[in-house]
Amino acid sequence: MAGGASDSDRFPYPSGTVVAVFLDDAALGAGRERLEQAGFGPNGYVVLRGEQDLARMDVEGKAHGFGGTVIRKLQAVLSDDADRVRDYADHLRAGHALVGVTVGEDEAAKQRAADALRAAGPEVLDYYAENYVEDLAG
C-alpha cells in the first residue's frame, strides 16, 4: 500500500505493511494524527479511497500480469487472504478508507504503527508479514 507508481508494485501482497480500515473521516483524521505523533510523517503511510484506489488493489490480480493472477488464485485456495482483499475492496466501495504503513520486519515500528492506528478505532487492523497475516485489532 503506497502512494506512487512503484509503490503499487506492493500488490497483490503488501508484505511488511500494517493495514487499517476506517469507516469515517473523523476516525481517519485521528489515525493520521496519531501516526504522525508516532513518528510516521505524511510520507510514512498511504491512504486508499475510492474507485481509483480500488483498481490499485487489483482484486483479481490481472493488472499485475500472470504472476499477480497466480498469487490471487493461490490466496483463494491456500489462505483467507483473498477474502481479506475482497473485504478491503468492499470497504473502499462503501466510501471507507484504508491506511497502509510500511514497516518491513521492524517489530518496534510495527507496534508503534499498530498502537497509533488502534487508538483511532479502526474497523480492521492487520499486519502483512512475509507468509501470514496477523490480526492486530485486539
Tens digit of each residue's pLDDT (9 = 90 or more) over 64-103: 455 445 554 444 444 455 567 788 889 998 999 999 999 9
Q: How confident is the model at residue 58 (pLDDT cuts 50, 70, 90)?
A: low
Angle, alpha carbons 104-72-100 (nearest 5°): 35
Task: Find all residues with CB under 8 Å of 96, minimum gap 6, and list them.
Answer: 21, 22, 23, 24, 49, 123
In which band, very low, low, confident or very high, does the pLDDT at 106 lie, cut at 50, 70 and 90? very high
Residue 52's pLDDT band, with cuts at 50, 70 and 90, is confident
pLDDT digits (tens, 9 = 90+) for 12-50: 457 899 999 999 999 999 999 999 999 999 899 999 998
Please state, in angstroms and as integers, the Cα–Cα distance from residue 40 to each residue in 88, 90, 92, following that order.
22, 27, 23
Query: Would you say the pTM of this structure is higher than 0.95?
Result: no
Cell numbers describing residue 110: 510495527
Residues recorded for the chain? 138
